Structure 1
Amino acid sequence: MHNNLDNTARTPRKVLITGGAGFIGSNFVHHWCAAYPQDRVVVLDALTYAGNRRNLAGLETSVNKLRFVQGDICDRLLVDALLQAGAIDTIVHFAAESHVDRSILEPDAFIRTNIVGTFTLLEAFHQYWKANQKPIDYRFLHISTDEVYGSLEPNDPAFTETTPFAPNSPYSASKAGSDHLVRAYYHTYGLPTLITNCSNNYGPYHFPEKLIPLICINILMGKPLPVYGDGQNIRDWLFVADHCRALDAVIHQGKLGETYNIGGNNEVKNIDLVHMLCDLMEELAPELPVRPCRRLITFVKDRPGHDRRYAIDATKITTELGWTPRETIASGLRQTVQWYLAHPDWWQPLLSSQYQTYYQRVYTSV
């Protein structure tokens, strides 16, 4: 893999990372700045509820080549200006509305950010790339989700890059739309694009509305642990640091116009995941308000259109680019729980009244 090789022969890149203050985006910024300190990095983030400037704490002061810009990917003039001013040659596009529950309640933002925003970036990058005589080393990496493929039955084979799209929520439909746009710009204009579709990520800097941080924080607060339906929904869990290494490999070695599926090889039922978290919290956090934690598990009304199972077949990226995940679900969850226990100063301010209102809307039967 590229980032195991000697970096001295590598030409430094000038990278624009959209959504770089979000969960996966900020983990990627940390990864990239550590791996390639000679690169210039611009982070563009609108700092909506899930974007957090503190996710990049330390980088702006310790890495003088990181620039943070608060702004909207739908702002074409801003995007044009950033490409020109930074002489950008690589866009890594994370910026997206990403929570299914919110897409059910308020789909408008998902269409705007995920479809119109991606289109705006593609148009800007296309014009800029043409104006610079279409350099062959430019890259536009679009980070997407396995949810575009729909839902699997228990015995269905895992999603591959050729699985037909069958999105079932406004979120996954908006991501499918953006994937199609990125693909179209490669085939129509020759724009040097790449697409990745990943499974469920977890790890540090994960906003508390998502399952794993939600369970950890609720255990610490002695609150109910909401589990949708019968808890038998299955997800393939990918530790975020493994995902960042995969994206690095795709940028440096991926074949233009291709899609790469990135999975953790960790299919787990939601209820089993909650049990694992309960056990870890009891081991690592001795002073809990409620023990055993499993007493807090509360089954709630299922999410509308809740996909039953996701699973990623990552054979292509393993075979072509040599990437495999390093973390098992056990090792990754342990690191994640330890991070949340060590960083209450990060997550406590996020439990705002606005967050509480949203929480009540989603889990009304808790």
Structure 2
Amino acid sequence: MSNLLVTGGAGFIGGNFVHYWADNYLDDAVIVLDCLTYAGNESTIAGIEQAELVKGDIRDTDHVEKLLRERDIETIVHFAAESHVDRSISGPDAFIDTNILGTNSLLKAARAVWLDEGSGRPHRFHHISTDEVYGSLGPNDPAFSETTPYQPNSPYSASKASSDHLVRAYHHTFGLEVTTSNCSNNYGPYQYPEKLIPLFLLNALHGRALPIYGDGMNVRDWLHVEDHCRGIEACLSYGRNGETYNIGGGAELPNMAVIDRICAEVDRAFVEIDGLADRYPDAPAAKGRPTSELKEFVIDRKGHDRRYAIDETKARGELGYAPSHDFESGLAGTLRWYLDNEGWWRALQP
């Protein structure tokens, strides 16, 4: 039996990880530390018997130390972060507080309990980061590898880059056992509807505009959240101490292609699912019109990175990682999840 502390475990990726771990490691105890901000939702992990939710702030070092001692925790999986680029542009301070100061607080607590108190026990601090720390690629540039220099271009990515460096420093300076994974754009169930896929789905259902930044040709690598969870599992099981691994989805697509696919899936759902037009009468598809008529181009985001792409050669070779979801079926399953779980996202609406 292992005891894990999952920070941000009531959020999107963290919550999916808690589900994944509980389904596959039935004897493990999962302590979720989450301060339940707007993107943290207790209902995301409701009903998971192995998961205990502790409401708290990762910046409270004393509280984290107490949890590590009292629950005999040997693994921290650190998801907790402010992650929405638009919010980082309008209000950078929260990103500095959570992503940098919060990570430092966790590292201090881990060092105090796992190293300074002299237990000598095996441990692991796994830090979840993003491909955005690498900056932006040109159309013909090679994909990001673990040796790509950091060039963050938003307050969000700069704060994540800083936290990555802190994790590395605690390993090299103090001997903390760590791994880091840099992932590409996640999608899947339980994603807060400010991100592209759930936002556009819910807008389409309610007949609201689908706002497309710039020309819509910014390129991202799309990673199903379950594949991301499998990648983290591989890092914990096989990752070398002190190493970084890039976790990608193998689906490099321009935003416009993703948006067109969402529109097509929504149109198809209204044809195939009885009663959907009655549930969402404001959707164009409820009236027999294409969802694509809602597309609307808006002024581009400040400092909008043009292209991200992940080279996951290292993760494949050392960890045996490979994505199992293709984007088409993964997106279709995600859209059906939101249609089947209206109560979850309705509770988040203003």
Alignment TM class, shorter chain as reference: over 0.9
1:210 to 184, 195, 202: 195
The Cα shift of 1:53 comes to 0.3
**How many Å separate the matches in 1 of 2:110 and 2:313?**
30
Contact 2:178 2:241 in 1 (8 A): yes
| Equivalent runs, 1:3-22 vs 2, <5 Å | 12-22=1-11
Letter in 2 for 1:259: T
Count, aligned residues: 337
User: Corresponding residue for 1:163?
Assistant: 148
Q: In structure 1, what is the Cα distance between the partners aligned to 2:205 and 2:111?
A: 48
- TM-score by length of structure 1 reads 0.91
**Aligned-partner SS, 2:308:** coil
Question: 1:177 corresponds to which residue?
Answer: 162
For residues 131 and 171 of structure 1, what CA distance do their matches in structure 2 show?
32
State the distance in 2 between where 1:134 and 1:193 align: 17
- Runs of 4+ aligned structure 1 residues displaced above 6 Å come to none
Answer whether contact 2:115 2:176 (CA < 8 A) is retained. Answer: no
Q: How far off its partner does 1:136 sit?
A: 5.4
In 2, are the aligned partners of 1:100 and 1:169 still within 8 Å (CA)? Answer: yes
Aligned twin of 1:3: none
1:80-91 pair list within 5 angstroms: 80-91=65-76
Counterpart residue number, 1:49: 38
**What is the correspondence of 1:54-203 to structure 2 with a 5 Å cutoff?**
54-59=43-48, 63=49, 65-133=50-118, 135=120, 137-203=122-188
Alpha-carbon deviation of 1:284? 1.4
Q: Distance in 2 between matches of 1:119 and 1:130?
A: 15
**In the alignment, does 2:18 pair up with 1:29?**
yes
Gaps of 5+ in 1: 1-11, 353-366
**What is the TM-score with the length of structure 2 in the denominator?**
0.95
**CA separation in 2, counterparts of 1:135 and 1:300?**
55
CA contact (8 A) 2:11 2:44 kept: yes
Partners of 1:26 and 1:55 within 8 A in 2: yes
Question: Cα offset for 1:77?
Answer: 1.4
- Preserved CA contact (<8 Å) 2:204 2:210: yes
Alignment of 1:308-319 (within 5 A): 308-319=306-317
1:242-293 deviations in whole A, cap 9, x for unaligned?
A: 0000100100110000000000010011011000000011111332621200
CA contact (8 A) 1:21 1:51 kept: yes
Q: Which residues of 2 match residues 216-235 of structure 1 at below 5 A?
A: 216-235=201-220
1:251 and 2:236 correspond: yes
Q: Which consecutive residues of structure 2, in runs of 5 or more, have no partner in the other structure?
A: 272-276
Read off the aligned partner of 1:47 and give its amino acid letter.
Answer: L
- The one-letter code sitting in structure 1 at the alignment partner of 2:311 is D
RMSD between superposed Cα atoms in Å: 1.0
Is it true that 1:322 corresponds to 2:307 in the alignment? no
